[in-house]
Amino acid sequence: MSNFSQNLITLRKNKNLSLVELTNQLNSKYEVKFSKASIDRWEKGLTSPSVTHASALAHYFNVTLDELSGISDLSDKEEPQQDTLAAHLDGDYTEEELAKIREYADMVRKSRDR
């Protein structure tokens, strides 16, 4: 497995995304189209993305192409859970409410993985 493959897996898992979720988010944000199968092959090191796809991935994960490809060390790009969660929620929530939302999200994610 190449550094690119491992870095892509790490970045996706740091965002707690399935392949389908990542594909959907990328397709909604960028003009270049992604498929679950392509991303799976990239993660397995079977194929490599085009420069356009790699650039979009780097932009999405907020890393450089050198970091994504493994030329440079991948910095700790995991966003704090609260910041990531807050970016997707509208309105003001208390810490207690955010904790409940995270618990619910974890429950949904675990039920999906069964």
Q: Say yes or no: 95 and 58 in one domain.
A: no
| Nearest to 39, CA basis, from 59, 56, 62 | 56
Per-position b or e across 18-27, b if 16+ CB within 10 A of its CB:
ebeebbeebe
Q: Say yes or no: 65 and 85 in one domain.
A: no
- Look at residue 109 in the predicted model and tell me its pLDDT: 75
For residue 104, give its domain range: 81-112
Q: Record the tokens describing residue 99, joined without a space.
A: 């904790």
- Look at residue 71 in the predicted model and tell me its pLDDT: 87
Residue 76 is assigned to a structural domain of this protein: no
Q: Say yes or no: 35 and 90 in one domain.
A: no
Q: What is the pLDDT of residues 15-68, one digit of tens each?
A: 999 999 999 999 999 999 999 999 999 999 999 999 999 999 999 999 999 999
Q: Read off the CATH number of the domain in which 64 is found.
A: 1.10.260.40
Number of folded domains in the chain? 2
Distance separating alpha carbons of residues 86 and 71, to the nearest angstrom: 32
- Look at residue 86 in the predicted model and tell me its pLDDT: 54
The answer to whether 30 and 56 have CB atoms below 8 angstroms apart is yes
Q: Say yes or no: 63 and 35 in one domain.
A: yes
* pTM of the complete model beyond 0.95: no
- Look at residue 1 in the predicted model and tell me its pLDDT: 58
Distance separating alpha carbons of residues 4 and 49, to the nearest angstrom: 10
Residue 81 has pLDDT above 50, yes or no: no
Distance separating alpha carbons of residues 9 and 76, to the nearest angstrom: 14
Distance separating alpha carbons of residues 98 and 91, to the nearest angstrom: 11
Q: Say yes or no: 85 and 65 in one domain.
A: no
